[in-house]
Chains A and B, each alone.
Chain A
Amino acid sequence: MQKMIVSAMRMLVYFILAVLCASLAGSVIQSQFNLVAISALGAPVPVPVWLATTLEDLAGFAPLYAAMMAVSLLLALPVAALALRLLTPAQRSTWQLPVYALAGALGICAAFLAANAAAPMPTLIAATRSVAGTLAMMLSGALGGWVFARLHTLDQ
């Protein structure tokens, strides 16, 4: 019983770390897309302004994105675990990290689509207006899945 509780607590810590890494990465990525768009319009964006805006988004944007990421990983990680069960133990060790990363990426993509359908605005996160931006933001979900799986692997 105690072992199960310890195991569950570990999983919880891994999950929180995964959400933290993914949401911070996603926040930094979306800041770059917005700043590139502003820069492309001809406004000068010197490095200090670039960094300050990126940091400001970590406080302003990352909390909401962390909530989205938490929900998406909560659904995507069990799906990844189930998918891995279809593989042999040897295949599983090879594919564990990619499958979790893929699940994280697809999970956050699904979260984008759900948010856009539910929210009054057409696209909730501006960086996901383009295919390139969506793929880049999916990398943050992939990072979340990868971090969770990596920590789990180290544990094993």
Chain B
Amino acid sequence: MYNRFPHAPRRVSAARTTSLIALLMAVLWLASAHAADSESREYDSQVMAEGLVHPWSLAFLPDGRMLVTERAGRLRLVDVQDGLREAPVSGVPDVFASGQAGLKDVVLAPDFADSGELYLTYACGTARANGLCLARARWQDDALQDVQTLFTTRPTKRGDAHYGGRMVFLPDDTLVLTLGDGFDYREAAQDPGSHIGKTVRLNRDGSVPADNPFVGHAGVLPEIYTLGHRNAQGIVFDATTQRLYAHEHGPRGGDELNLLAPGKNYGWPLVTHGKDYTGARITPYTTLPGFEPPMVDWTPSIAPAGMTQYRGDLFPQWEGNLLVAALAGKRVHRVVLSDEGARDEEQLFGEINARFRDVRTGPDGAVYLLTDSPAGRLLRITPAER
């Protein structure tokens, strides 16, 4: 009896179950669609410029216009009303443009309104012997004048990868500049006689500040501020807490956010949470005495490529947070800072579906994003109008 119609009741049950599952899925789909819609309406995205060739960095001029570097070696001017000016800014120094090499950061001097000075970093040299250069120029008549190369990394290296190239001014008017490990030269990040894999601190004329941590140390380059970095592409000084933050690309895993302090060693390649792209171990160690641990470790990698500390009125809930642009992650990570450390709180702008090269806080409180592609865009993010 039990086996007589073994399947019939189950068929009814299966049909009901299927209907219920279908209904549940429909409800979930509607709910998720609503959620996604709500999320997308939390902010508006406005295209300020497009057709930028691998844009890398962004600076805001006092008159409301913006300067954007393109990796190929062009500096572009973006007007809020008129958009991207077709002709690139003249006077940019010759760059070594190949692979990851090219024009990198643009930063205005703190007294730009008076001095008109701005600073550029760029790969310089040839495929066989190159490095990172820092140049100073004067902004006049929408062009660069009096361009001077202030600093060139040494020793030179081969190849076109891992330059670092981000910079930030400290309150004492010195400049901290990130320098990459050149990919094939990772061990040099621990060599105090090399600029490779370091940050350096310079005066505005390129000279070495007398209070740099290694001034007077035999065998140590006096420009060095911190050691043991792989490829730092984000650096921010928090004026409120007087802290200096930098993030850097790890290999496969091991992307880091670090709190930089003069003279400290951040461990690459002796300590890392990442492995080589082949799956091989670079080092057996994730920690060792004498090396600073990261505040945040991103494993798997997000490929952090730019950073801002949000200070503005449009997104009060993000006040003081770090926004980290991610290339591989195709998101902007919001990192909340505290006395205890840092917490990767949430990921933003995923629906834009782009590799983010840079993120900046505009003087208007909006968040500005550069997307990395041969047809990159400059986006302005504001809260959604409700």
Contacts and interface: CB of A to CB of B under 8 A. Distances in A.
B62 to A, nearest CB: 38
Nearest to A37: B187
Interface residues of A, number: 31
A98 B61 CA distance: 68
A122 B187 contact: no
Contact of A64 (B184, B270, B279): B279
**Most interface-central of A43, A49, A53, A123 (chain B CB within 10 A):** A43
Contact of B183 (A31, A60, A123): A123
Contact of B284 (A38, A65, A121): A38
B299 to A, nearest CB: 14
For the residues of A in contact with B, the DSSP-based class is helix
Given A31-B281, A38-B270, A41-B187, A126 B276 contact: yes
B132 to A, nearest CB: 16
B193 to A, nearest CB: 14
Interface residues of B, number: 24
Contacts of B190: 41-42
Contacts, number: 72
Contacts of A53: 281, 284
Given A37-B187, A40-B187, A129-B184, A124 B277 contact: yes
A57 B280 contact: yes
Interface string B284-298: 110010000000000
Interface of B: 99, 158-161, 183-184, 186-187, 190, 269-270, 275-285, 288
Given A43-B288, A60-B280, A121-B161, 15 more contacts: A41-B270, A42-B190, A43-B283, A45-B284, A52-B284, A53-B281, A60-B275, A60-B279, A61-B276, A61-B278, A119-B277, A122-B183, A122-B184, A124-B278, A125-B280
13 contacts: A37-B187, A38-B269, A38-B284, A43-B270, A43-B288, A52-B284, A57-B279, A64-B278, A64-B279, A124-B277, A125-B280, A126-B276, A126-B282
